[in-house]
Structure 1
């Protein structure tokens, strides 16, 4: 992540701060050309967003006073470290009546310890509290 403090004036990054953007393989935006694609120099990995870019987008959202959007970008940044199958499992676990309070706490703990996804873990814990208050937790066996 950049040590530069971003402001709403830096949005969009691709126009105002392209120097900060890199692909997961380290390519710049200028490296992403049709001729590079045709030459085989660009792979699908080059088209994925990085956790750093998501974190910067979150910083921009926060600077614009959009707290919830900033939190979404922070969670998305954390989720880049989580395998796709685990993400799908998380979504299923978070459906109403799909998990017990203990299962959601286990998920939150796994997010923290395995993936360092503390913001995602906090969301799971908040969901567990809301589900408990609204009687949307699965029955304990």
Structure 2
């Protein structure tokens, strides 16, 4: 992910209009390269239209600069999730429902997020959910 330290403020939002030089597609194209002609000619593919983790981190920084810490955290988690296959994201979503998983199962998910995907922010959220579920008696019984 990006290590860009450019200061961002709410005035930079939306990035596509106010800071397009900061945006790249997953294949490295600049935002200006995404044109109808490029799509028609096949120069732009579906992969070019996916959000990048770097863009999500930038959006999170703007949110935080506007005092929206939780939105910023959500953007950082979303940035991490871009590396996780869709099927695994859906399985984790289901596992995080109350009474769906034991503490051990949630810790396994958190460890996989960290170890396989380097998704430490997401792993912290899963561990926090496990603590809250334990306090509220919402964990599944150990099998």
Select which of 46, 49, 52 maps to 2:48.
46
- Say whether 1:7 aligns with 2:9: yes
CA distance in 1, matches of 2:11, 2:40: 35
1:56-75 to 2 correspondences below 5 Å: 56-75=58-77
CA distance in 2, matches of 1:113, 1:62: 27
Alignment match, 1:91: 93
Alignment match, 1:23: 25
Unpaired runs of 5+ residues, structure 2, are none
- May I ask how many residue pairs the two structures share in their alignment? 141
Q: What is the SS of the residue equivalent to 2:92?
A: helix
TM-score, structure 1 as length reference: 0.96
CA distance in 2, matches of 1:55, 1:16: 16
CA distance in 2, matches of 1:4, 1:51: 16
- Say whether 1:36 aligns with 2:2: no
TM-score, structure 2 as length reference: 0.95
Unpaired runs of 5+ residues, structure 1, are none
- Say whether 1:131 aligns with 2:122: no
The CA RMSD measured in Å over matched residues stands at: 0.9
